[in-house]
Amino acid sequence: MTVNVMTSKEVTKKVFNKEKLFVLDVRNESDFNDWKIEGENFEYLNVPYFELLDGVEEIIGKIPTDKEVLVVCAKEGSSVMVADMLSEAGLTVSYLKGGMKAWSEHLEPVKVGDLQDGGEVYQFVRIGKGCLSYMVVSNGEAALIDATRMTEIYLDFAESIGAKITNVFDTHLHADHISGGRTIAEKTGAT
């Protein structure tokens, strides 16, 4: 059978579109219970990777053949191995590129509105952590609000829509969020 690669962007689309997905999470139970990929129509099976070292025979019957299956681990390596074993057992599955690390850092730009006198507002959804940041664009200039430490997405997005980031705002300090605002201001000359 086949092993496919699914990106965080593709999984995010499934969350937004309320698609069905079966997630086999091979991280330790405590990590899975603390935090997982969440989607309205997602189903889950958590079996730690070390329990599958001798093979996947024990779990084959628990994995559906009528919906997409995504194997997830912390950084990708373990999920690739488990996906290969499931494929050899006759299933078609995908693994999450970059694992939960990539999921935690993924930002998805979503247009949320138009400005009255031209321009638009984009929300950057950090879906794996539930954080939001914003870009307000008007007349080729952009203001960035509450940027995360993953700065390239904002710079690339602004460039892709032909906008120059001229202002950066941090509305509050976070206990769990490192701001990328200062870095972006330095790179773009923004206020």
| Residue 133 burial (CB count, 10 A) | 26
Amino acid at 180: G
| CA distances from residue 108 to 83, 153, 177 in whole angstroms, order as listed | 26, 9, 17
Is 131 assigned a catalytic role?
A: no
Tokens read off for 159:
């460039």
The three-point CA angle 133-135-137 to 5° equals 170
The neighbouring-strand residues paired with 173 are: none
Q: Which of 73, 82, 93, 143 is catalytic?
A: 73
Q: Which amino acid is at 144?
A: L
Just list the catalytic residues: 73
